[in-house]
Amino acid sequence: MRHLILGCGPAGIAAAKAIRAAEKDAEIVIATEEAFARPYIRPLLPDYIAGDIPLDALADPQGVDLAMNRIEVRQGKRARKVDAEGRRVSFEDGTAEGYDSLLLATGGKPLLPSPLDRHPKAVVPFDSLSDAKRIRERAAVPGPIVVYGPGYLGIEACRSLARRGRMVVWIKPVPSRFGYSISGEFEARVLDEVSRRGVRIQEGDDIIFLRELDESFFEVRCLDGRDIRCSMIVAAAERLPAVAFLKGSGVKVGTGIVVDDGLRTSAPHVYAAGDCAELYDGKTGEVRINFGWRSAVKLGKLAGENMAGGGKVYIRNREDYTWLLTGASLLDRLK
């Protein structure tokens, strides 16, 4: 059997290890668009930006023994097209890979609204290790930093930059449409802790105009009429499942990749797990994108077991997506 996994995040790695545990002789290939040699823990990026941990501390322990387990990782592989009927994936670099079973674990990508999407020099997404390195470098330039985005990512971006001693203005638009929003009494407590760190919060505001002043500084105009001069805009924007490459593949896509309770997609021999998967919640009757590191590990493991012939059924645990990210642990991180 040849198993191909798109994505070397927590879901992809957990799936590969689950397959190897069940199939000692299977060929397992992980294709990732990341260029870094070792998988890393994305939730630790704010601590790296803050200067609290070194680069080496980001290494994902799950990824240490991939080679020893005969799991091949190929970097710089961005999927272009999936041919589900021919069981083949084409990549942007012109290469292609066949498979007996395929796991889509491509995660999510930040959705940059206008006008942020037109200013790559001024705007740095709060997303990948490459982005985190750029943010650390640009944070050395004196001057205020604007953080844009609602919810958990906005909080973490503010926290990391405030810990560097920077003046931070958080432009916090309407609540997130995807994932779990933070609201009510808990939101008030979190915002109070963010404010205590010296962050200026512009609740319900937005950016309507952005221009370059010189090589190092930019100006944003807010919905409320205020102009802010800043050294960069960190876009802690909403994340959407990375599914554009599936157009015409026969794999059913809603907001994310639609899967059943065994994480099977609409296409034979194709599974999905992690931030790109759209799961049905039997308790609430909702179809939801379950963003989160811990949920991705669980989903990946179950998908890998089923790719190896298992018959596991996924049972959702809300704490995997909410409290372990935005409960007491988040307040502790802010203190």
pLDDT given at position 161: 97
Q: Would you say the CATH fold of 112-237 matches that of 2-108+242-325?
A: yes
The pLDDT assigned to 329 comes to 56
Q: CB-based contacts of 184: which residues, under 8 Å, 6+ apart?
A: none
What stretch of H or E contains 23?
Answer: none
Domain boundary assignment for the chain = 2-108+242-325, 112-237
pLDDT at 323 over 50: no
Q: What is the mean pLDDT of residues 205-221?
A: 95
7-21, 143-157, 272-286: range with lowest mean pLDDT: 272-286
Phi, psi angle pair for 273, to nearest 5°: -155, 155
Which superfamily does CATH assign the domain made up of 112-237 to?
FAD/NAD(P)-binding domain (3.50.50.60)
pLDDT digits (tens, 9 = 90+) for 183-193: 667 778 888 88
For the cut 90, the answer to whether the pLDDT of residue 292 exceeds it is no
Does this model's pTM top 0.95? no
Of the ranges 1-15, 146-160, 176-190, which is most confident? 1-15
Work out the widest C-alpha separation in the chain, in whole angstroms. Answer: 63
Residues 33-46 have a mean pLDDT of 87
Q: How far is CA 7 from CA 35, 308, 312, in A?
A: 12, 18, 22
pLDDT mean over 135-144: 94
pLDDT at 50: 95
Topology classification of domain 2-108+242-325: FAD/NAD(P)-binding domain (3.50.50)
Most confident of 37-46, 171-180, 251-260: 251-260
